[in-house]
Structure 1
């Protein structure tokens, strides 16, 4: 089954195998933590790596956004990028397309590409990128910082990236209008959470950007990392009309599809109205969607009465599998 490695295997094979101990590592590998944080003389350096494999026309810009989102969600300003670029041997022009896209996307957010590696691989049929983003955080905001009494804020609509994927990969087979498909295809350009993180990082106790498994998976990961319970109201979560139409046509939950473009944060209860208003002033759809509590089921999310503790499978994987089997 494709998707993320399970929490048990991560704990057994990854989190307990981290090389030499180092007191300068403020945040190392951990459940729900997408970026490392290292104390250096100039402050706290945040580092995150992410792979991506899509069509050449999208992969560069998406790769920059996805890698930098985890750094931004830790309170840092992305400053540097390294890129490993693996390319199909029979597509020599692909490098030009991808690097032009990388250059433009990095320049847009003020990050410099400082190194990496490029290679042609006979076995590949489409390009694969792996980007590492670095930046300094002041303050550093972990995924695991939520406290009882905090409110949960979602900055950006749920399922933005998944909506764009539905339009791009399944649009021709879904009973939706051409206008809906055209609009949804533009959502790929909106998946950076850096603008939202810039507003939130001064007040947030925790931040996390939902990716695979959507907003619901992101909430479960934040709850697990913080060892708290989250009580969430579905009707409060921002969802665009195009997301609703495409998800209804595909039979998937908008909260369980790729969620890049949204940022989950917890903030002190007395600051939530101010934070949501500040996000709205910058043009970001945001809402107070629930509260942080404690109890017997720490590491869980209650959504309209249903409780979730286990990793969430992304709703798009069964659709891709059905497409491959057809």
Structure 2
């Protein structure tokens, strides 16, 4: 089955941490997407995150850069360096040039340097697999697990920003057949320009207790990961989660829940009540829309740590991303 590993398999991976190293301030943990490494003789912390991408065929290089850099930014750091590992299904020079140009352009936009990597042909693949490792430094590492009872939950931009762009490009014909207008799809495809949360994180990080970057599984999965990492319980109202008209049109057309689809482009922040106005003002000054969607519960005994309530209904496990069945159905037809 395509997608993230299940809890048991993932636990085995997270437990395999190799040798102990005192410089590692934050290592592998469920819900934590980046590592924090103390630099000898320096006040700053090196933040490192890695992510692969293969399914968004039209924009794999662009999205791969942003997905990796988003994890670094959502840890309080400014992304600065990238390594690029690229596996190709064949030696198609045009495809290679397209992916490399996408990576180069996205990295330049974020003022990041590509400092190395690896490229090879792997015929077992049927599409490019692009894996980026991003690095940056910060004097204040912000973990996913820093959320505290009473914090308010903020979300920038809206749900399923990345998924909207994918649906409008990879599944354009299916959306058209389902009644979505060409103009709406053209607008939705432009969401690809908004999948970075580097600016979002820079605006809100000083006020935040915790930050997290929704990716696979969307906002719902990000909420479960933050609740689990912080051992808290989160309460969210679905109607409070921003969903743009283009997102609603594409998701409704293909039967996708916006809260359970690729969410790069949004930033989830837990913010102490006294800093909410500061955070929202900073985001507004940066030209970034944001909304308060819920809170970290002050537990009364009913909400177990790691629990998410959406409209009062518990969500104990992250959902499988709802774009995967669409890809699988298309592959079965081919």
CA distance in 2, matches of 1:136, 1:212: 25
Flag as ranges the 4+ runs of structure 1 deviating above 4 A: 54-57
Shift of 1:40: 0.9
Secondary structure at 2:134 match in 1 = strand
Deviation at 1:93, TM superposition (A): 2.6
| Counterpart Cα distance in 1 of 2:60 and 2:320 | 23
Preserved CA contact (<8 Å) 2:207 2:278:
no
Q: How many corresponding residue pairs?
A: 325
Q: In the TM superposition, what is the alpha-carbon distance from 1:55 to its structure 2 partner?
A: 6.2
Structure 2 counterpart SS, 1:101: helix
**Structure 2 equivalent of residue 244 of structure 1:** 248
Which sits farther off after the overlay, 29-38 or 280-289? 280-289
- Pick aligned residue for 1:190 from 194, 210, 215: 194
2:315 pairs with 1:311:
no
Query: CA deviation digits over 1:77-135, x for unaligned, max 9?
Result: 00110011112324123222222222221111111111111112233332111110011
**Pair 1:276 & 2:280 matched:** yes
SS at match of 1:93: helix
Counterparts of 1:229 and 1:129 in 2: how far apart (Å)?
Answer: 35
Q: Which residue of 1 aligns with 2:22?
A: 23
Q: Distance in 2 between matches of 1:55 and 1:263?
A: 20
Is there any run of 5+ residues in structure 1 with no aligned partner, and where?
none
Q: How far off is 1:274 after superposition?
A: 2.2
Q: How far apart are the structure 1 equivalents of 2:270 and 2:92?
A: 45
Q: How many angstroms does 1:54 deviate by?
A: 4.6
Alignment of 1:1-326 (within 5 A): 1-11=1-11, 13-41=12-40, 42=42, 43-54=44-55, 58-173=59-174, 174-293=178-297, 294=299, 295=301, 296-326=303-333
Aligned pair in 2 of structure 1 residues 56, 249: CA closer, same or farther (>3 Å)? closer
Q: TM-score normalised to the size of structure 1? A: 0.96
Q: CA deviation at 1:19?
A: 0.4
TM-score by length of 2: 0.94
* Bigger mean CA offset, 50-59 vs 250-259: 50-59
RMSD of Structure 2 on Structure 1 (CA):
1.4
